[in-house]
Amino acid sequence: MIRQVLALAGKDVRLLVRDKGGTFVTFAFPFIYAVFFGLIFASRAGTASKIGIDVVDEDQTAHSAAFVDRLAGADEFDVTRATRKDASDDVRRGRKVAYVIVTKGFGEAAGGILFNKQPKLEVGIDPARQAETAMVQGMLTKYMFEMITSTFTNTAAMTSQIDQAKKLVAADKSLGPARRTMFDRFFNELDRFTTKLHEEEPSKSGSDGNRETTTPDSLAGWQPMDIETTNVAREHAGPKNPYEFSFPQGIIWGVLGCCASFGISLVTERTRGTLARLRVAPIGRVQILGGKATACFVSTLTLATVMIFVGRYVFGVHPGSWWHLAVSLTCIAVAFVGIMMFLSTLGRTERTVSGVSWAVLLGMAMLGGGMVPQFYMPPWMQGMGDISPVKWAILAMEGAIWRGFSTSEMFLPWAVLAGFGVVFFAIGVRGFAWADEG
């Protein structure tokens, strides 16, 4: 029996793949939908805000203030000054991408850069946001480099540092005469070089630090500061990126395409006579319908799985719970296999079933948030969405991907989807038997 069901399912999947229109609707369109709307949401998010960070200045020195001002003036950051606690809360709740704490001693270290002291920053960031983590660290390094460069090219600051160094050499009793002479000569030469540089390029050696800076090759790999990163697990209150929102909807469109294609294919089998041929084969009706259901189930699940993996590895969709998602996709496949069976009984010709099926499916999609997100709808319409399997399918996927539903919270959408599947399948099987012999 299994062999025959698999043969039937294999045939149907093969026919689906060879039908260019069906393949496009089922497999390509969902990707286009997901990427298209993901890009729209992403571009809107990009124009609305920069990377939001909280900055905490615990050092309260001129150097730390200068560094914070640099960050505040940066194009890449939207900086809010905050306390350590508020900053941590903001990241945890997802209100900010990261926080940056300028720790005590920052100013002293930044002022004594010649003595290999590294100013220290503490960065708190959601570990799930890999891309932003790297970007924030890169930006902080860049602005620290800019500050150091401005110190090197600031004659007064540099002279002050050289004077301080000379005093330290003079005070150090452990140095032998030869080494002391060598250090004195080095710092005197450096002092003369700095003064001469200022006289020759007065316009470029200002201390404003606004000009473009580049890192010399010899400094490659050297870090101007010590960045200590703290992982702050975010309490997710929304999708982490727009694709986590658009991919479930894209999957829904693929599922609807599968559902319609297989529903129509059942009618095509009837009108083309192949269904009669299957019925005179040594197999029962259970196997025939089982084969069709299996093909629809496998195609739906395959489509959803492929989309999830592409979403994960290309578009940064990070499901909160993989096993919740697996059960959700299974329940969705069950629901829409049932709906497929039901759709196949809505007419006796492909044209009728195709038209009525898409009308039904589009109605489900409209009410269920497959076209316009439910939160854009008025409350009464959101309530009506409860009758649409699409609403529960999206909820089940979102619950597993970014809503952070617990297992007990997931049970409701799973049960509703499985219920839809069983009820529609039963109606479909009854209707199918009638239509077949009429």
User: Could you list the residues that contact another protein (CB under 8 A)?
Assistant: 3-4, 7-8, 10-11, 14-15, 18-19, 272-274, 276-284, 437
Element (H, E) at 230: strand 226-231
Q: Which pair of structure tokens corresponds to residue 38?
A: 């993901």
Report the nearest approach of another protein to the CB of residue 275 (Å).
8
Nearer to another protein, 9 or 307 (CB): 9
Q: What's the rounded Cα separation, in Å, for the pair 118 and 374?
A: 51
**Closest separation in Å from C-beta 7 to another protein:** 4
Q: Which is nearer to another protein, 3 or 85 (CB)?
A: 3
The least distance separating another protein from the CB of residue 287, rounded to whole angstroms, comes to 8
- Judged by beta carbon, residue 124 or residue 257, the one nearer another protein is 257
Q: Would the CA dihedral through 51, 53, 57, 58 be positive or negative?
A: negative
Question: Tokens standing for 430?
Answer: 């009854």
| Residue nearer to another protein on the CB measure, 276 or 359 | 276
CA distances from 25 to 132, 258, 294 (A): 35, 8, 19
Query: Locate tokens 């393949």: which residue?
Result: 23
CA dist list (Å): 137 to 20, 79, 234? 47, 15, 18
For residues 152 and 209, what is the distance between their CA atoms, to the nearest angstrom?
10
19 vs 76, which CB is nearer to another protein? 19
Estimate the crossing angle of helix 155-171 against helix 130-152, to 10 degrees.
Answer: 80
> Between residues 7 and 372, which has the closer beta carbon with respect to another protein?
7
The minimum distance between CB 262 and another protein, in angstroms, equals: 15
Whole-Å CA distances, 371 to 204, 216, 395, 415:
57, 52, 14, 23
Q: How far is the CB of 258 from another protein (least distance, A)?
A: 17
Which amino acid does the sequence have at 98?
A: A
CB of 292 to another protein, least distance (A): 14
Provide the minimum distance between the beta carbon of 291 and another protein in the complex, in angstroms, as a whole number: 9
Between 17 and 426, CB nearer to another protein: 17
Is 132 buried (19+), middle (13-18) or exposed (0-12) by CB count in 10 A? Answer: middle
